[in-house]
Amino acid sequence: MSRVISLFILIFGLHIGSMRLEAQILSTDTFKVIGEGAQGSLPQDRILDHLSQTRLFQATYIGVPLIAVGIIEKQEDTKFRQLRNEFMPQFHHSIDNYTQYLPTAVLFGLKTAGVKSRSLWGRMLVSDALSMTLMTCVVQGLKHTTNIPRPDGSNSHSFPSGHTATAFMTATMLTKEYGYISPWVGVGAYSIATATGLMRVANNKHWLSDVLVGAGIGVISTEVGYWIADKIFKNKGLEIGNDRSVETIDFNRNPSCLGLYMGINLPLSKFDIDDTHALRTSSGMTIGLDGVYFLNRYIGIGGRATVSNLQFILNDTQAPSNTFDFSTIAIGPYISFPLSNRWNVGSRLLVGAVHYPQMTIGDLQLGHRNELMVGSGASMDYLIHSQLSGSLFFDYNIQGPPSVQSNEYIHLFTFGAKVAIRF
């Protein structure tokens, strides 16, 4: 489980950190496109790319989805807590009390050391103070109006997570001020913020929905705080100015990539193991590695490997012990179609194998078998910069049964986000 958490931190930190860096670049930069897309005669290209450069898009395309997913996921909080109780029931560590402030320590350390940032001291302090005020008011206001009990029952101020909101606020501050240096500044900052949120769940102090909403509040509060400061100071107090090098994007470049993604599994099937046992699946998590080599701009060959978990509901009875892990590996054709210079839609058709380890469900012994699986899916891809892309995806997989007593297949729908390195 610790490996899964570590990989999740890397995926989420890389995804948000890289996208936050792009938001900074887009606010001050233009990009030059070579190849077919450079003609500039396609109005839909200009519209799509212009929308992704607006301040509203930059301020909300991370925070709003986090809050929305947190609200939707709230119905599944108890299931995620069951997973926590199964894998780490006695876990407790106080390091999250300190990691929430770590990006701030790095920010002020670099500033004190004389490393140039986006803003001079005065403008930066005002921006950060506004962000902190907004975040504190929203978080504390919700805590004292929703009165949701914490998982450990210590009090009724669980929603949203203040630690996570603070961590993502400080990570956004660091990325806005120093993200121009390298995308790894944002990767590191948001990895620490993600780890802080996961620790709050592992410490049994927060539900998963508390953490997701807290993260969104932290990001949006900082964006709004900096927006207000920008209106106040205008062009005054900028240390590095608005100059950026022009990025060259080759529109005709093949979109070959290697990506990491995380998704949520949703139940689509119910089947009978035998005459007395009816089994259906509940939500779970998938972490995967996806790679594809494109022969041209549109068609490629690739593969995907995943590690997943699901919860089984046996005879309409849900129990924490009814969980199991499985892994898949598959290969097949990939298709990519450009909508604009930065936006693409993609699809794939994969065939491979699924492995079920030995597991006990109720009084049944299942698993320890390999079965055939086929899957398809689609994605919306956004070119963050010439060698990095982010995307939203959904997959539909049909995989063989985990029991020799049944011939009924598992139908699995997975949706999530992916970040990929282009090569």
Q: Given this model, what pLDDT does residue 180 score?
A: 85
* pLDDT tier, 241 (very low <50, low <70, confident <90, very high otherwise): low
More confident residue, 247 or 315: 315
| pLDDT surpassing 50 at residue 15 | no
Q: Given this model, what pLDDT does residue 312 score?
A: 67
Q: Given this model, what pLDDT does residue 259 score?
A: 84
Q: What percent of the chain has pLDDT over 70?
A: 71
Q: Given this model, what pLDDT does residue 148 score?
A: 94
3 state SS for the chain: CHHHHHHHHHHHHHHHHHHHHHHHHHHHCCEEEECHHHHCCCHHHHHHHHHCCCHHHHHHCCHHHHHHHHHHHHHHHHHHHHHHHHHCCCCCCCCHHHHCCHHHHHHHHHHHCCCCCCECHHHHHHHHHHHHHHHHHHHHHHHHHHCCCCCCCCCCCCCCCHHHHHHHHHHHHHHHHHCCCCHHHHHHHHHHHHHHHHHHHHCCCCCHHHHHHHHHHHHHHHHHHHHHHHHHHCCCCECCCCCCCCEEEECCCCCCEEEEEEEEEEECCEEECCCCCEEEEEEEEEEEEEEEEECCCCEEEEEEEEEEEEEEEECCEEEEEEEEEEEEEEEEEEEEEECCCCEEEEEEEEEEEEEECCEEECCEEECCEEEEEEEEEEEEEEEEECCEEEEEEEEEEEECCCCCCCCCCEEEEEEEEEEEEEC
Q: Given this model, what pLDDT does residue 230 score?
A: 93
| pLDDT surpassing 70 at residue 325 | yes
* pLDDT tier, 17 (very low <50, low <70, confident <90, very high otherwise): very low
| pLDDT surpassing 50 at residue 258 | yes
More confident residue, 17 or 219: 219
| pLDDT surpassing 90 at residue 91 | no
**Using one digit for the tens of pLDDT, what is the confidence trace for 37-66?**
444 444 445 566 666 667 777 677 678 878
Average pLDDT rounded to a whole number, residues 60-85 = 75
Whole-angstrom Cα distance, residue 122 to residue 239? 11
**Using one digit for the tens of pLDDT, what is the confidence trace for 96-145?**
999 999 999 999 999 999 999 999 999 999 999 999 999 999 999 999 99
Whole-angstrom Cα distance, residue 380 to residue 337? 10
| pLDDT surpassing 70 at residue 190 | yes
More confident residue, 362 or 253: 253
- Residue 328 backbone phi and psi in degrees, to 5: -135, 155
* pLDDT tier, 157 (very low <50, low <70, confident <90, very high otherwise): very high
Average pLDDT value for the chain: 80
Q: Given this model, what pLDDT does residue 162 score?
A: 95
Q: Given this model, what pLDDT does residue 173 score?
A: 96
Average pLDDT rounded to a whole number, residues 292-305 = 94
Q: Given this model, what pLDDT does residue 46 score?
A: 57
pTM of the model: 0.70
Q: Given this model, what pLDDT does residue 245 score?
A: 36
| pLDDT surpassing 50 at residue 18 | no
Q: Given this model, what pLDDT does residue 194 score?
A: 87
Average pLDDT rounded to a whole number, residues 241-270 = 69
Average pLDDT rounded to a whole number, residues 155-172 = 95
Q: Given this model, what pLDDT does residue 378 score?
A: 95
Q: Given this model, what pLDDT does residue 410 score?
A: 85
Q: What percent of the chain has pLDDT over 90?
A: 42
* pLDDT tier, 337 (very low <50, low <70, confident <90, very high otherwise): very high
